[in-house]
Structure 1
Amino acid sequence: MNQESIQEKLNERFQKQFDRNTKRRRLQLRVLQNWWLIAVLILGIYAGLPIAAPVMMKAGITQPAETIYNIYGFACHQFAFRSVFLFGEQTFYPRESAQSNLTSFEARAAQSEQFRAEYSRQSGIPLDELTPERLTNELTIWSPELQFAARNFVGDEQMGYKIALCQRDIAIYLTMVIAGAIYGLFLRRRLRPVPLWLYVLLGLGPIALDGFSQLLGYPPFELWEPRETTPFFRILTGSLFGLMNVWLAFPYLNASIQESIESLSRQLEQAKAEFHAMLERTKAATQES
C-alpha cells in the first residue's frame, strides 16, 4: 500500500471523527437554542398530568388516575375544598367560612356517598350513623379527619372530579406554561428580568399574605379567627407568582445559555477551520513525498 492510499484512509477516518463531533456539538447547540421550549414542555407535562387525572376518572380509567393523584400528593395537600373540579355541578366547592355564593363543601360533600364512606373510614364513625346532617356538622370543624378525607376524596359523578393539584398550584404552573411560551415566542430577545422589588411586591407578597393569613388562623397556630380564602384569590395569587417566576428566571437563564451558545458556536467554527487546515497540510505533505 503506497503512501497516498494510507493518507486517504487516514483522512477518511479523520473525516468520520470530525463528522461525529460536529453532529454532537450541533445537537447540543440545537438543545441550547430551544431551551425555553424544553422548559415549557416540561412545565406543560407537569401541569397537564393533574388535569388528565379527572378526565381519566370521568372516562373510567381509574388506575392511572389514582396513580397521578398519589404521585402529586407528595407535592400538594389536594384538599377537595381547595381544588378545581371538572365535569361536575360546580368548578369549586369552598368551605362555608369562605362566604362564597357557591354551594359549600360541607353541604355538598355531606350528600356524597363516596365522601361519607371516606370520612367514616377516617373518623371511625359507623357509616349508618353518619347521616348527611351529622356529617355537615362534623365538616364545620377543622380536624385531621376532615383534612385526610378531603385529601383522599377525588370526587364523584355529581360533584365532578378534582384536578390533582390545588387551585393555587395549578394556577402557578399553568401560568408559567403560558408565560414561558409567550416569552420564548415573542419576548426572548428584549425582555429583561423583573426588578427584585417588583418580584417581592407582586410575586411573593400576595401569595404570602393570602396563604399565611389563612394558615395562621388554624391549629396549631390559631393567632386569629380562622379564615378561608376564596378560589378567586387562590388563583389570582398563584397566577401572579407563576408569572413573576417566569419573568425573573427566564431572562437570566436566557442570558446564561446565550453565552454557552456563543461559546459552542465558536468551538464549531474553530474545529472546522482546524480540520480543513489539517487536511491541507496532509495533502501538501503527500504531494511532496
Structure 2
Amino acid sequence: MITVTLFSRDDCHLCEEALANLEALQTQIPHRLDVVNVDGNRDLQRAYGLDVPVVEAGPYRLKAPFTKQELEVTLRAAAERAKDIESIKQSSDQAKAQSGWTISGADRFSYWLSNHYLLLINGLVVIYLGLPVLAPVFMVAGFTTPAAIIYRVYGAVCHQLAYRSWFLFGEQPAYPRVEAKVEGLIPYGQAIGLDENDQWGARRFIGNPLVGYKVGLCQRDVAIYGGILSFGLIFSLTGRRIKSLPWYIWIVIGIFPIGIDGLSQLLSQPPLNSVPPFSLFSFRESTPLLRTLTGSLFGATTAWFGFPLVEETMAETRKFMAEKFSRNKGKGNRG
C-alpha cells in the first residue's frame, strides 16, 4: 500500500475537494492518507503555502489546481511503481535466500582449504626446502642438468655463498671463512683454493667430489624454512590447538637475534664498512651455528605467531560452511 500525503490549510475549499477525491479513490487505489496542515509551520508555509493543496505519492507531486482524473493517474502511477519495487525486492530476497542454500564449487573449495591449508603449507615448505637439498644429490648421481636448474632458480632468492652454505658428500659439512674462527673446520679459502673476498666466485662455486656439493640455499635460509616446517608439523600433530605467540615475544626471540647477527655481519663488511659510521665496526663473520640458531628461531617463532592466527580464520570458515552444508542437506530432506 502506498502512502499519500496531502498538504492542506484551514479555510481552503480546494483542499477539502482534494481530500474528498482521495477518500473516494480509496476503494480503487488503496492508500494510507496523511493530511498535513501547513498553517503554523513557517517552513511548510514557505514550501507549500502558495501551492496548496499539494499531493505527494511516492516520487510524484501534484500542485493545485488539479482534477480528480489527474489525481487518479498520479496515485495509479505511484501504486504501480511501489508494486514493481516490491516485486524486485522479493526477487532479490529470493535470490539471496537461494544463494544461502546453494552449495557452489567455491564453497566446497573453501571448506576443503580450511581443513587442509596446513597440509598444503607444510607440503610447499617441504618442496621448497627439499629441492635445494636434492641439488648436491643430483650432482653426485651425475644428473648435472637438473642440479644446475635448481642452483640457478634458487640463486634468484638466495646469495648461495659457498662459505655460508652447507655441503653434502664432502670432507666437511661447511667451509666457513677464516674470520668466522670456527675450530675443527678447514676454512673456505684453504679448502677450496679461492679468494675468500671474491663473492662472485663463492656464488658460482657449487662444489667438487673432494669438498662435496653445496645445498642450493644458504645456512640461514635452510634454518628459517626448517623452523617453519618444524612448527608446522608440531602444530598439525597437536590438532592446531596451540595459541599464537605474543608479538613481543616473537620480536625478542625471533627477530632480534637474527637481526643482530645478520646486521652486525652486513655492516662490518665491504662495501658498507668503508662508509662512516659503519667503518667503526670491526670486521665480523657469523658462524654456521649462529646462522642456524638465529634462522631456526626466526622461522619457528614466525610460524608460531602466524599459523594460529590463520587457524582462527579457517575455523570460522569451517563453521560457516558446515552450517551452510547442514542447511542445504536439511532443505534436500524437506524436498
Structure 1 pair 195–24 and aligned structure 2 pair: CA distance change class (3 A): closer
Q: Is the 8 A contact 2:110 2:317 kept in 1?
A: no
1:47 aligned partner: 129
Flag as ranges the 4+ runs of structure 1 deviating above 2 A: 20-31, 274-277
**Which of 33, 39, 45 is residue 115 of structure 2 equivalent to?**
33
The offset of 1:273, in angstroms, is 1.8
**Which of 229, 233, 248 is residue 177 of structure 1 equivalent to?**
229
Alignment of 1:270-289 (within 5 A): 270-277=327-334, 279=335
The offset of 1:225, in angstroms, is 2.1
Structure 1 pair 187–269 and aligned structure 2 pair: CA distance change class (3 A): closer
Distance 1:212 1:178 in 2: 25
Normalised to the residue count of structure 2, the TM-score between the two structures is 0.65
The offset of 1:187, in angstroms, is 5.0
Identity %: 39
Higher strand share: 2
Distance 2:284 2:108 in 1: 55
Residue identity opposite 2:247 in structure 1 = L
The offset of 1:93, in angstroms, is 0.1
Q: Does 1:255 align with 2:312?
A: yes
Q: Does 1:98 align with 2:180?
A: yes
Normalised to the residue count of structure 1, the TM-score between the two structures is 0.75
Distance 2:126 2:169 in 1: 22
Secondary structure at the residue paired with 2:172? coil
Larger radius of gyration: 2
C-alpha RMSD over aligned residues: 1.6
Q: Structure 1 residues 163-172 or 213-222, which shifts more?
A: 213-222
Q: Does 1:194 align with 2:251?
A: no
1:11 aligned partner: none
Alignment of 1:194-273 (within 5 A): 194-222=245-273, 223=278, 224-273=281-330
2:153 aligned partner: 71
Distance 2:107 2:245 in 1: 32
1:3 aligned partner: none
Alignment of 1:112-151 (within 5 A): 139-140=195-196, 142=197, 146-151=198-203
Distance 2:231 2:143 in 1: 32
Unaligned runs of 5+ residues in structure 1 are 1-19, 111-134, 280-289
The offset of 1:31, in angstroms, is 2.9
Distance 2:152 2:179 in 1: 28
The offset of 1:29, in angstroms, is 2.2
Work out the number of aligned pairs and report it.
Answer: 227
Q: Is the 8 A contact 1:22 1:268 kept in 2?
A: no
Distance 1:22 1:274 in 2: 15
Unaligned runs of 5+ residues in structure 2 are 1-101
